[in-house]
């Protein structure tokens, strides 16, 4: 049994359940101003968007290499490793821009991550139970 989907009706539905900040340029621009000026934190929306979109894009490029190795028979060669390293460098570049955007010390960010993982895995080793059943506040 197949269900016919009317993509035009779906498009209308998607518009209805999308925020006005996403649907409307003027509302979006006002939101950017609110984030950068009226927020209690000093945030640079341009750098924040650069970091977020860049991290996602570069992570996709890194994943593409891994996908080709795992599922399409691409050989793991010196060139493949070099390509992955370059993509990881790009991810780091965008990550630092994201840190800059929110005024975060990258060393503090990593330290917080280490503390979070130590709390999640108190024995110092990964286990599935703690990975899937997190304490309140463990994000």
Sorted by sequence, the CB contacts under 8 Å of residue 90 that are 6+ apart come out as: 54, 58, 61
**What is the model's pLDDT at position 136?**
87
Q: How far apart are CA 124 and CA 139, in angstroms?
A: 18
**What is the model's pLDDT at position 38?**
66
**What is the model's pLDDT at position 104?**
96
**What is the model's pLDDT at position 137?**
87
With a cut of 70, which residues of the chain have pLDDT below it? 1, 38-39
**Predicted model pTM:** 0.85
**What is the model's pLDDT at position 10?**
95
Sorted by sequence, the CB contacts under 8 Å of residue 99 that are 6+ apart come out as: 51, 105, 106, 109
**What is the model's pLDDT at position 101?**
95
**What is the model's pLDDT at position 39?**
65
Domain boundaries of the chain, sorted by first residue: 1-40, 44-101, 105-139
Give per-residue burial for 26-39: e unless 16+ CB within 10 Å, then b.
Answer: eeeeebbeeebeee
């Amino acid at each position: 049994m197949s269900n016919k989907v009317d993509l035009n009706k779906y498009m209308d539905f998607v518009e209805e359940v999308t925020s006005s900040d996403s649907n409307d340029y003027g509302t979006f621009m006002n939101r950017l101003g609110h984030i950068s000026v009226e927020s209690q934190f000093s945030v640079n929306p341009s750098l924040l968007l650069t970091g977020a979109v860049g991290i996602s894009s570069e992570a996709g490029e890194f994943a593409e290499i891994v996908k080709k190795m795992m599922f399409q028979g691409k050989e793991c060669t010196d060139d493949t490793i070099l390509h992955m390293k370059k993509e990881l460098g790009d991810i780091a570049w965008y990550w630092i821009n994201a840190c800059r955007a929110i005024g975060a010390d990258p060393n503090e960010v990593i330290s917080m991550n280490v503390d979070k993982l130590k709390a999640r895995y108190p024995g110092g080793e990964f286990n599935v139970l703690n990975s899937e059943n997190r304490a309140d506040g463990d994000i």
